[in-house]
């Protein structure tokens, strides 16, 4: 059985996804990064997404743009191509089911984009096979050992 993995890290935190059902991608960013993203919106948003975001006021606009960014990064990681594909070339709504278009995703079924509920400090998303169950564990060092707490992972 082949295991598919994805890794993302930012500001001292790492997110790791493992899936036996097919390609998986994960992305995590600090929520504070939202304030940096409006300057790059033309590099992130498909025309449809730009139109949907246009009526939002700050700080909601920036938070939604960051959520869009992590969904798109997760999809590109599942495809195995990183930022080779322009983010403006596709729409990545939360809950969307999308095909993997890269040749590295041989015979893989579609993936579902899902935002992960991991608290206000972080914004994260996963692209996983449609039938994958998302569960998780937070791992953190405490007194020289690793302690597991409820969180999210893909199985």
pLDDT per position as a tens digit, 68-97: 999 999 999 999 987 788 999 999 999 999
Q: What is the DSSP letter of 77?
A: H
Phi, psi at 104, each rounded to 5°: -70, -10
Residue 153 has pLDDT above 60, yes or no: no
pLDDT value at position 141?
67
pLDDT value at position 130?
95
Q: Choose among 12, 22, 111: nearest CA to 71.
A: 111
pLDDT level of residue 148 (50, 70, 90 thresholds): low
Q: Please name the residue that has the structure tokens 């020289």.
A: 144
Give the Å distances, CA to CA, from 19 to 7, 24, 105: 12, 6, 14
pLDDT value at position 140?
66
pTM of the model: 0.88
Q: Is 29 helix (H, G, I), strand (E, B) or coil?
A: strand
């Amino acid at each position: 059985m082949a295991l598919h993995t994805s890794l993302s890290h930012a500001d001292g935190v790492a997110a790791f996804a493992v899936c036996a059902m097919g390609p998986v991608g994960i992305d995590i960013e600090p929520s504070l990064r939202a304030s940096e993203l409006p300057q790059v919106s033309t590099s992130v948003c498909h025309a449809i997404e730009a139109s949907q975001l246009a009526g939002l006021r700050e700080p909601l606009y920036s938070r939604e743009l960051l959520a869009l960014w992590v969904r798109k990064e997760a999809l590109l990681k599942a495809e195995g191509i990183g930022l080779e594909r322009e983010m403006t070339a596709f729409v990545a709504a939360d809950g969307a089911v999308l095909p993997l278009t890269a040749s590295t995703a041989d015979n893989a079924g579609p993936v579902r984009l899902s935002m992960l509920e991991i608290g206000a400090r972080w914004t994260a998303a996963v692209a996983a096979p449609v039938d994958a169950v998302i569960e998780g564990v937070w791992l953190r060092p405490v007194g020289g050992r690793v302690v597991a707490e409820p969180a999210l992972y893909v199985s």
